[in-house]
Amino acid sequence: MEQDSVNRNTIKVLLVDDQPLLRMGFKLILEGEEDLHVVGEASNGREALEAVGRLDPDVVLMDVRMPIMNGIAATEGISASRSEARVIILTTFDLDEYAFAGLQAGASAFLLKDVAPAELVQAVRLVASGDAVVAPRVTQRLLENFVRNRPPRPTPHPDPLLGELTPRELEVAQCIAQGHSNAEIAHELFLSEATVKTHVRRILTKLHLRDRVQVVVYAYETGLVIPSNPDY
């Protein structure tokens, strides 16, 4: 199922799931797009790590519950490696702990397995381009649970890295943490989308973060974003 000849502009995808039929379904969806190519498949996290090192995919669609090594551990392994592959966690479980575990392990996105084909394709493209996505219907619960169960640790001084951000970059970071798109940030801050993208790149560099989803996690962990409603 693995092919050696792939167009340079094609997004290479690795499918990781212990259910062959599910992998087949995802492959049929993705291979129907000219710019997407499934370079390989794996049935557990250990196979996924080996395949990432051998196939160098751009995006990994990663199941959570698998034998031998689960998707969270595999995602941690990919994040700790030299691979540039970005991980999309796919799960049938609409439970916050899976989303948090995946994102904190370094995943770039969290989607449910019943995602619509068009949304799945768009998510792969967004993640490959450096933009991350979280399923809209779980985004709010994700942040609510994070704030409720993982409050920012009290520290006498803010994270030193925040001092590297300009006032405008802090504003953009806060907008990212609230789930706003580049277009929404541009509208809110009266900036062009190109300027917003530049700010996002600088924020990621200064905070040593992989993508904008990691900005969300960082913002709530450090208290950069604090809910105004105590019952939030």
One domain for residues 139 and 185:
no
Residue ranges in the chain whose pLDDT is less than 50: 1-5, 156, 230-232
One domain for residues 89 and 179:
no
One domain for residues 169 and 140:
no
pLDDT for residue 172? 94
Which of residues 95, 120, 144 is at a domain's end? 144
pLDDT for residue 98? 72
Q: Is residue 232 part of a domain?
A: no
pLDDT for residue 129? 85
One domain for residues 209 and 101:
no
One domain for residues 44 and 135:
yes
DSSP bridge pairs for 37: 12
pLDDT for residue 60? 97
One domain for residues 179 and 135:
no
> By residue range, what is the domain housing residue 177?
151-222
pLDDT for residue 8? 65
One domain for residues 122 and 48:
yes
One domain for residues 30 and 70:
yes
Which of residues 94, 114, 144 is at a domain's end? 144
One domain for residues 94 and 197:
no
Q: Is residue 117 part of a domain?
A: yes
Q: Is residue 231 part of a domain?
A: no
Question: How many structural domains is the chain composed of?
Answer: 2
Q: Is residue 21 part of a domain?
A: yes
One domain for residues 17 and 131:
yes
One domain for residues 98 and 197:
no
CATH number at residue 116: 3.40.50.2300
pLDDT for residue 168? 96
Which of residues 123, 144, 165 is at a domain's end? 144
One domain for residues 86 and 68:
yes
Q: Is residue 55 part of a domain?
A: yes
